[in-house]
Amino acid sequence: MNLANKLNKILAGDLQAAARLMRGIDDEVPDAIELLESIYLHTGRAYIVGVTGAPGAGKSTLLGSLIPVFRREKMKVGVVAIDPTSPFSGGAILGDRVRMQSQGVDKDIFIRSLASRGWKGGLSRATLNTIHVMDAMGKDIIFVESVGSGQGDIDIARVADTAIVVLTPGMGDEIQIMKAGILEVADIFVINKTDRDGAETLRNGLEGMLEMKTYLPDEWRPGIILTEAISGKGIEELAREVLRHREFLISGTEMEKRRKERARLELMMAIESSLLTYVERIDRDYLDKLVDDLALRKTNPRSAALKVINPSTKQL
Ligand SMILES: Nc1nc2c(ncn2[C@@H]2O[C@H](COP(=O)(O)OP(=O)(O)OP(=O)(O)O)[C@@H](O)[C@H]2O)c(=O)[nH]1
Ligand SMILES: [Mg+2]
């Protein structure tokens, strides 16, 4: 099958074609990479919601209840679950949960789990690629579930249109909030497991922290939504808050700003990986010659490096 055919299948939302492409991308099959490149031009339509929080905070359970709300609105849903930490709450379980809720297989929900192997807390290339494929497939909304790990949260928030941070009462969350700097990145705070003690204390603590920050009249002030994911309490309200934030982004310049930020991040990541690939391919004999020149003090390391990166560079 040629590239155009494969592309059309993805754009038509073909699940098998998408799964095959994602496997191909994982294995770095050249055809898959080429297809991914052409897909990019058809992305940018999906709304991306990041859901982050400590392991076991209830992110998957929340999504299990939240997704049906969007499905009722006929929105097509994609879910990327990064690094399911426990075997009990991994992507497969999330899949089961969503299927349970939607009574049978719903082909308009596409879930994919990604391991964070070799990923140092930042945003992985695989996450972005998976988002792009789902976006091209015509998903209206894509949820990205990831475990909060300090700096990592910030990166997920950078690619999300709406960043949801899930907290639970009684775990010293106030300190966690301060430490991870999530106050800066959250668009919506969820206090889940409100059936447990301490939800009000946590809400007050959070409110107190939000009050310390001054918000301009046209600036978004993060809302705090109380939920009980297992029973579905607060879920409708959370869905409304997501849509309200989307309206806020669209009505001003914020959406464009976020999308540009994401494009910039992707460009920088692509430059980095291209450079790495380039460095790996440098002719070893040429390198040896430069090493000899250096050893004989015929040149200096910086000039030699510039010569490798850009052979037309004159001696600086
Ligand atoms: N009591 C109570 N338990 C909940 C609630 N929401 C989720 N849980 C439970 O908390 C546990 C963890 O829930 P998950 O949804 O798997 O949490 P997670 O944040 O996705 O976990 P990881 O993906 O491992 O980080 C499960 O046993 C859930 O049933 C809630 O509102 N109240
Ligand atoms: Mg989970």
pLDDT tens for residues 250-260?
A: 999 999 999 99
Tokens of 69: 């709300």
Residue 294, C-beta contacts closer than 8 angstroms, at least 6 positions apart? 300, 301, 304
Could you tell me where the beta strands, DSSP code E, fall in the chain?
47-53, 77-82, 109-114, 141-147, 162-167, 188-191, 223-226
Higher pLDDT, 265 or 187: 187
Residue nearest to atom 13 of ligand 1 (CA): 58
Q: Is the C-beta atom of 165 inside 6 A of ligand 1? A: no
CATH 3.40.50.300 fits 43-254, yes or no: yes
Residue 44, C-beta contacts closer than 8 angstroms, at least 6 positions apart? 135, 259
Select from 219, 223, 258 the least CA-distant residue to 240.
Answer: 223
Confidence of residue 122 (pLDDT cuts 50, 70, 90): very low
Q: What is the mean pLDDT of residues 104-112?
A: 82
DSSP state at residue 69: H
Residue 50 identity (one-letter amino acid): G
Kindly tell me if the per-residue pLDDT of 89 is higher than 90: no
Kindly tell me if the per-residue pLDDT of 135 is higher than 60: yes
Helix (H/G/I), strand (E/B), else coil: 228: strand
Kindly tell me if the per-residue pLDDT of 14 is higher than 90: yes
At 99 the pLDDT is: 56
Q: Is the C-beta atom of 59 inside 6 A of ligand 1? A: yes
Confidence of residue 6 (pLDDT cuts 50, 70, 90): very high
CA 104–ligand 2 middle distance (angstroms): 21
Kindly tell me if the per-residue pLDDT of 159 is higher than 50: yes
- In the chain, which segments carry CATH 3.40.50.300? 43-254
Cα–Cα distance for residue pair 261/284, rounded to 1 Å: 37
pTM of the full predicted structure? 0.87
Are 159 and 50 a contacting pair, CB within 8 Å? yes
Q: Is the C-beta atom of 63 inside 6 A of ligand 1? A: no
CA 243–ligand 2 middle distance (angstroms): 23
Cα–Cα distance for residue pair 67/47, rounded to 1 Å: 13
At 88 the pLDDT is: 46
Which residue in this structure is represented by tokens 């899949």? 95
